[in-house]
A and B are shown apart, each in its own frame.
Chain A
């Protein structure tokens, strides 16, 4: 039996943020990772927004192996046969410090783990944590690959399913409506081709989100991020919608159809798929966040349910980094008091509540309910596509005036429903 001050389960962003912060403060911390190396099991869309976490890890960003800083933000509304695209470019996006970067997690997490090790954290890879050890209602350690490992406190950063949180009795199996599944391909493409196709220079990058037909009207959307010399192209779709929503479709078919769309096909042309990955994403918002701590245990990152989709942005990694950081702060306070009971660790909730993490979740607490309407993912994309088609069409005969062209789609009934949806959207 071995005893450590702190055991972190999972070398993802939350776990590594916790380990990095603790090690920096001289606390003895062991990180246990089931993958071959940190990042081996970790998946993102993905893009990392640095602003909210920049100051929590001031020394980290300069050399971090991030891909491209995002200077072009795109959104596409996709109907069956047509699409409407908006691209936003702003001078602030091209100025340092850059707001967000595309990221590949196997690369980033591996590097981040090295930084944590440099600060003094211990890392054991290829080891799966099988259970928590509970004595007198206090978590006192874990079983990992037949080894009994003890610690004053466990920080469970074992991802969205957090089997550890279930074993510690902090939560039960989640409800499909609170989760989405994301799946993506990494498509290698020459960096000069990427820059030409997306109108980028040097390390500039583009991010695009797609909604509508890409998910056949189900809750979710498509995404595309430019990496240094690859594209991350994928789909996120609500699990409940996928299970029972009509039409019935197998998840992988959505990505294949997406790739075949002419709008996408020309962007990935000549590229070579090098990896296919998938992961569940917590998307239940504030209501789905359960208990974040217990006697001798804290949850951080996806394990704590900290990811959020509000349509225009899909975020999770900043919350993971921040919650890992705050978990570390709580552990250090608890260490001072030599008290690792839930009562002592409850400061965690206060720290998260006072930070951007829970403030964001409160601000956007209506988003999951509001966005859970097929009108946004099916009806409006088709409607807008049809209006655009008629607006741009020049027929053989005389062209109708613009106002009646649009008006014929915007019936009283349609306007009434739109006003209703608008009232809902205003809650976001």
Chain B
């Protein structure tokens, strides 16, 4: 997988993630009691999930060494891209409960 240019894969991966964390840190998030998006149990290796690693603007999906896709819900912008890209057979997808999740101040 290619993560930008001019860097070794590992370096770019790291710098990319830390840059995104800082960006997401600008946003206001309100805590939810449970994650609003889940990878359906047993679907972690489903090829449809691999798209999420590419499309998520918040970079919340990663693929681990076992080829399983993992999701960190903190920082979710609720944009809906993963739902469109991967579908609801592999993702259990809902919005956060009322008043929780990202709260844009500019939008």
Q: How far is the CA of A185 from the CA of B106 in the complex (A)?
A: 10
Q: Could you give, for residues 169-191 of chain A, a 1 whenever the CB lies within 8 Å of some chain B CB and a 0 otherwise? A: 00001101001010101100000
Provide the residues of chain B in CB contact with A173, threshold 8 Å. 83-84, 87-88
Is B98 a contact of A186 with CB atoms below 8 Å?
A: no
Whether A242 sits at the interface, judged by CB under 8 Å, is yes
Is B2 a contact of A274 with CB atoms below 8 Å?
A: no
Q: How far is the CA of A183 from the CA of B104 in the complex (A)?
A: 13
Provide the residues of chain B in CB contact with A160, threshold 8 Å. 80
Whether A208 sits at the interface, judged by CB under 8 Å, is no
Provide the residues of chain A in CB contact with B1, threshold 8 Å. 248
The stretch among A125-133, A378-386, A387-395 that forms the contact with chain B is A125-133
Provide the residues of chain A in CB contact with B79, threshold 8 Å. 43, 181, 183, 278-280
Assuming A239-B84, A253-B4, A280-B84, is B57 touching A42 (CB within 8 A)?
no
Q: How far is the CA of A34 from the CA of B79 in the complex (A)?
A: 14
Is B81 a contact of A249 with CB atoms below 8 Å?
A: no
Is A39 a contact of B104 with CB atoms below 8 Å?
A: yes
Is A275 a contact of B106 with CB atoms below 8 Å?
A: yes
Is A105 a contact of B84 with CB atoms below 8 Å?
A: no
Is A106 a contact of B4 with CB atoms below 8 Å?
A: no
Whether B42 sits at the interface, judged by CB under 8 Å, is no
Partner pick for A275 among B16, B26, B81, B95, CB 8 A cutoff: B26
CB interface residues, A 108-137, toward B, < 8 Å? 109, 125-128
Assuming A243-B51, A274-B26, is B94 touching A40 (CB within 8 A)?
no
Is B103 a contact of A35 with CB atoms below 8 Å?
A: yes
Is B54 a contact of A251 with CB atoms below 8 Å?
A: yes
Pick from A36, A43, A256, A257 the residue with the most CB of B within 10 Å: A36
Q: How far is the CB of A285 from chain B (nearest CB, A)?
A: 16
Q: Could you give, for residues 150-172 of chain A, a 1 whenever the CB lies within 8 Å of some chain B CB and a 0 otherwise? A: 00000000011101000000000
Partner pick for B96 among A109, A128, A174, A239, CB 8 A cutoff: A128
Assuming A242-B55, A252-B20, is B85 touching A176 (CB within 8 A)?
yes
Whether B35 sits at the interface, judged by CB under 8 Å, is no
Provide the residues of chain B in CB contact with A275, threshold 8 Å. 26-27, 104-107
Provide the residues of chain A in CB contact with B83, threshold 8 Å. 161, 173
Provide the residues of chain A in CB contact with B101, threshold 8 Å. 41
Is B57 a contact of A106 with CB atoms below 8 Å?
A: no
CB interface residues, A 84-104, toward B, < 8 Å? 104
Q: How far is the CA of A252 from the CA of B58 in the complex (A)?
A: 7
Is B104 a contact of A181 with CB atoms below 8 Å?
A: no
Q: How far is the CA of A125 from the CA of B97 in the complex (A)?
A: 11
Is A145 a contact of B55 with CB atoms below 8 Å?
A: no
Whether B99 sits at the interface, judged by CB under 8 Å, is yes
Is B84 a contact of A39 with CB atoms below 8 Å?
A: no
Assuming A230-B106, A243-B51, is B30 touching A36 (CB within 8 A)?
yes
Whether B71 sits at the interface, judged by CB under 8 Å, is no
Q: How far is the CB of A128 from chain B (nearest CB, A)?
A: 4
Q: How far is the CA of A179 from the CA of B94 in the complex (A)?
A: 18
Q: How far is the CB of B69 from chain A (nearest CB, A)?
A: 13
Whether A107 sits at the interface, judged by CB under 8 Å, is yes
Whether B67 sits at the interface, judged by CB under 8 Å, is no
CB interface residues, A 228-274, toward B, < 8 Å? 230, 239, 242-244, 247-253, 255-257, 273-274
Is B95 a contact of A104 with CB atoms below 8 Å?
A: no
CB interface residues, B 42-57, toward A, < 8 Å? 51, 53-57
A-B contact pairs, 24 of them (CB 8 A): A34-B96, A34-B99, A35-B99, A105-B104, A107-B107, A126-B98, A128-B96, A145-B98, A159-B80, A163-B94, A173-B83, A176-B84, A239-B85, A242-B54, A243-B54, A243-B85, A249-B54, A250-B56, A250-B59, A251-B59, A252-B58, A278-B81, A279-B77, A280-B81
Known contacts A161-B83, A163-B94; 7 additional CB pairs below 8 A are A106-B105, A107-B106, A107-B107, A161-B80, A251-B54, A277-B102, A278-B79
Mark A residues whose CB is within 8 Å of B: 34-37, 39-44, 104-107, 109, 125-128, 144-145, 159-161, 163, 173-174, 176, 179, 181, 183, 185-186, 230, 239, 242-244, 247-253, 255-257, 273-280
